[in-house]
Structure formats: C-alpha cells, structure tokens
Amino acid sequence: MPAPHPKGQAARPLWNALKRLDPSVECEKTFDWLFVPGPDQRMRHESEVHAALVEHCRTTRTTHPKKSNCNCDGLYAMTPIGRARTLEFDFFLPQSGVAIEFDERQHFTKERRLTLNFYATDFPFDVERWKLLCSDRIVDPVPPCRDWQRAFRDTIRDFRAKAHGVKLLRIYYQDFNGASEHARSALIQTIVQ
C-alpha cells in the first residue's frame, strides 16, 4: 500500500501540487518489477552499471575517510533472507501512468554522474543536465556505501520504468521548490503532457 504522504518535507509542495492535478496520486509507489536485482536478475545495462560502480568504489573509496569502510563487493548484496530490496517511485499518477522522482541534492554525486554515462538520450528527463548537476563535492558517507547504492537504485528505477512502459520524470528539487508559483504551475502542467 502506498504511503499517505512523502517521506521528506522538501517534497511536500510537489505532493500538494500533484494532488490538485490528480487526486489519485500515490506516494512511495511500488511495483513487483521494481527492486534491486541480484546478479542473475539484472538487465544488460544494469549489469554494466553495477560493474562500473563496484570498480569505482574499489578505486576511490579511500579518497573519503568515511567511505573507506565500504565493502565494494557487497554493495548490492541481497538481504540476509535472500529477498531483493523493493524500490519505489516518489510519486505515481495512475491516470496518466507517470512516475515522478523528486531528486534532492544527495542524488547528484560523482557516483550518479558515472551511471548517467550509460544512458542513451531517450529518457524523459534531460540526462545531460543531470550530469552537469552532479558534483564531486556532494557526499553522503553514512553509511559508507550510500552514494554508490543510491546511484545504482536510481539507475534501476530509470531502466526498469522504461522497460515496463512507465514514463519516469525526474524533477530537480530546486526547479520546483525554488520556483515562483507560476513556474511551479507550468512545470506541473508539463508532467501530464
């Protein structure tokens, strides 16, 4: 069952605007195909991204003291009871079949930039802009593997949404929360088009 409201406070203004657009909007929407896949469950692009992230972890984890304890080989291990970790979309508009991810600062790391290099140009968000927004200065070191894990999970959402015919839009938090009411309305209107 979807959550009744978004986890983070920063996403509340978008949630309220989406409810006005489509009262059936859902938060934290899950699908049976949206999960962190094990090695034998990954699509080709997911396997390529996984390998690149593990190698990146091995070669760069010592550059940040709080990341040095990351177990790079166990980054995406299954849970102890053998089940994959379920993922969710921040928002889902059932009437239009549109999923929305509200990307805050922590989603724009060098690890995320690495994953975006594996994307073709046919995603419903500006991949090149997302690369430019990524910064080497953005670090979320607790727990130590968080940045690599988040980058992989975002990639899974993007690739699996595309594979299952769900239009996944990514909204940069400052484009919405830092915008005028008029600009917010215009952004919301583009979601359903």
Mean pLDDT, contiguous 10-residue spans, the chain (193 residues): 73 88 91 92 93 94 87 70 76 92 94 94 88 88 87 96 94 87 80 68
- Is residue 185 domain-resident? yes
- Is residue 150 domain-resident? yes
Q: What is the pLDDT of residue 82?
A: 47
- Is residue 1 domain-resident? no
- Is residue 144 domain-resident? yes
Query: What's the total number of domains in the chain?
Result: 1
How many Å apart are CA 12 and CA 189, to the nearest integer? Answer: 17
- Is residue 4 domain-resident? no
pTM value? Answer: 0.90
Q: Which position has the token pair 């290099």? A: 117
The residue segments making up the domain with residue 62 are 9-191
